[in-house]
């Protein structure tokens, strides 16, 4: 268990190093280039869920998508677990922080679980650290 904690700290340091200015500007800046539209779609979806929550709008009949007929936001976004994470993180912290937090945590968890899988398959801890 101690090795997993140390590896998690190593991947946390590596994530901070590889995305260096993002950690200090996590509330105000968006990573990527201006021609990347997926990040803006994610931020808009989080804003949409937050707006619907604060204004008591029904997400099954939502006119912001496919106006004037409407398209349910549940059908447009898809996964209920993702919608819950988007909504509550954006309500608590804000849309930009939510997006940056999910990006940074995805790097961290991908490294950790790659380490765990590689260590399980090869029984080599050092090789698993480098593969993560």
pTM of the model: 0.75
Q: What is the pLDDT of residues 46-97, one digit of tens each?
A: 788 788 888 887 776 666 666 666 666 565 555 667 777 777 888 888 888 8
For the purposes of burial, counting CB atoms within 10 Å of the CB of 75, is it exposed (0-12), middle (13-18) or buried (19 or more)? exposed
Provide the 8-state DSSP code for 88: H
Give me 21's structure tokens.
């200015």
Residues 6+ apart with CB under 8 A from 124: 118
Contact 73, 65 (CB under 8 A): yes
């Amino acid at each position: 268990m101690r090795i997993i904690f140390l590896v998690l700290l190593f991947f946390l340091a590596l994530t901070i190093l590889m995305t260096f200015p993002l950690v200090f500007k996590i509330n105000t800046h968006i990573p990527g280039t201006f021609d990347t539209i997926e990040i803006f779609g994610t931020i808009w979806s989080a804003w949409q869920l937050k707006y619907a929550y604060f204004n008591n709008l029904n997400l099954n009949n939502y006119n912001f998508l496919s106006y004037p007929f409407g398209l349910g936001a549940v059908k447009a976004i898809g996964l209920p677990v993702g919608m819950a994470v988007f909504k509550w993180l954006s309500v608590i912290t804000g849309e930009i922080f939510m997006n940056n937090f999910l990006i940074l945590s995805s790097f961290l968890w991908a490294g950790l679980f790659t380490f765990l899988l590689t260590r399980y398959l090869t029984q080599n801890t050092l090789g698993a650290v480098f593969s993560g």
